[in-house]
Amino acid sequence: MITVVILGSGNVATHLFKALLASKKATVIQWFSRNTAVLNEFKEIVEVTNDLNKLKNAHVYLIAISDDAIEGFSESLPLKNSLVVHTSGSVPMAALSNKNRAGVFYPLQTFSKEREVDFKEVPLCLEAEYTEDLKLLKVIAESISSKVYDINSEQRKSLHLAAVFVNNFVNHLYHVGNDICNENEVPFSILKPLIEETTKKIVSLDPLQAQTGPAKRNDQKTIENHITDLEKSLPQYKELYKIITASISKTYGREKL
C-alpha cells in the first residue's frame, strides 16, 4: 500500500481525501492542518495533526493549500529527500523546495463543499522530477481516476488559463444571464436546457463549428438592439457584450463590431 500524508484542509484536500479512501493502491495515513478543528468529522477515520514536527513517514506528501502559500510551506517542511507534490494548476513544479523530490498531482476540476464529485471522471495531471516518482504518482492516480495525463509545468499553466475561460468566465456569463432574467422577471430556469445543450454540443462538435448567434451572423440590427437594452437596464454589462461580440466577429473574419 502506498502511504500518503495530506497537508491542507480546503476543498481540494477534502475531495482528494475522500477519493483516496476508496483507493486500493494508496491510503492516507495522516492529515495535517494548522486548524485541526475543521477536520473534526474525519478524526475517527484518519490521524489528524497540526504539528509539522509530528509528520509520519510516507511515500508521498500531498500539499493542497492556496497557490501563494505553496513555496514557503514546502520550504518549512521538516522533511528531506521525500516525495512532496503540490496540487495546483498554476504553480510550477520548481516552486517546491529542493530539499525534497518534487512532483505535481493536479486534479483539473472545480470543487465545492456543496457537491460530491465523481473522481473517476476527474482528469489528473501528473508531473515529477524523477521517473520512479512519476510511476508511483501514476499508480495512485489510476487507482482513483480513469483520466490520468503526463503534463509538464508549461502545459499545466496553459490548461489552468484555459480552465479560467471555460469555468470561471463561463460561470460569470451564467451570472449575467441570471441578472438579465431577474431584471425582467422571467425565471432563469427557462435557460437551463439551453445551457446544457451548449455544453453537450461541444462533446461532438468543435466550438468553432458550434458557434451561432448574431455576432457570428454579423446581424448588426440585433447587436445594436441588445446594446441599447443593456444600456437601459444593466449598463455594467455593455462593455462585456461589445468585447465578446467583437472577439467572435474577429474569429469569423469580421474585424469591425
Give the shortest CB-56-to-a second copy separation in angstroms: 32
Give min distance, CB of 67 to a second copy, in A: 7
Among positions 108, 136, 140, 141, the unique one binding a second copy when judged by CB under 8 A = 108
Residue 99 vs 217, nearer CB to a second copy? 217
Residue 26 carries which side chain, given as an amino acid letter? Answer: A
230 binds a second copy (CB under 8 A): yes
Residue 190 touches a second copy, criterion: CB under 8 A:
yes
Structure-block grid coordinates of residue 70: 505553496
The mark string for 12-51 relative to a second copy (x by CB under 8 A, - otherwise) is ----------------------------------------
Q: How far is the CB of 250 from a second copy (least distance, A)?
A: 7
Count of residues in contact with a second copy, rule CB under 8 A: 92
Instruction: Give me the least distance between CB of 241 and a second copy, in Å please.
Output: 8
Find the binder of a second copy among 44, 154, 235, 256 (CB under 8 A): 154
